[in-house]
Amino acid sequence: MISAQQVQATMTRYVELVDAGDIDGIIALYSHDAVVEDPVGQPPIQGLVAIERFYRDGLGASNVSAVLTGPVRATLNGCGAMPFRVDMEWAGQPCSLHVIDVMEFGADGKIRSMKAYWSPINIGPLAGA
């Protein structure tokens, strides 16, 4: 079983990789049969090929930065949640998206499930602007 500290470290690393735009690094965090819901309510994205396409078409086509806005919360059974902010352009305007990601990990430490909780109501003026 993955430890709570490993959950925290991997989720923190995920935000660092999003900030860096490192799609290959992000994909390496996922298990081969992972499922992504981003945002929750959209059809699930299943498997590494589809997940990689999702990140390359979204994050890879945008100029974004990301930062944790609170601590990563981790359970003792391989799950975690974290609040973070993504600064980007939306509809041609600079803005900030405030999101909470919830992840489940396998015993190998890879992400099995990622659910991103956000909607347009969580998009606002660029933080600090």
Question: 0.75 exceeded by the pTM?
Answer: yes
Alpha carbon distance 64, 109 (integer Å) = 26
- Catalytic site residue from 24, 30, 38, 57: 38
Tell me the pLDDT tens digit for each residue of 21-57: 999 999 999 999 999 999 999 999 999 999 999 999 9
Domains with residue ranges and CATH for the chain:
4-120 (3.10.450.50)
Active site residue 19: no
Residue written as token pair 């090929």: 49
Shortest CA distance to 36 belongs to which of 48, 45, 49? 45
Active site residue 38: yes
Alpha carbon distance 120, 98 (integer Å) = 10
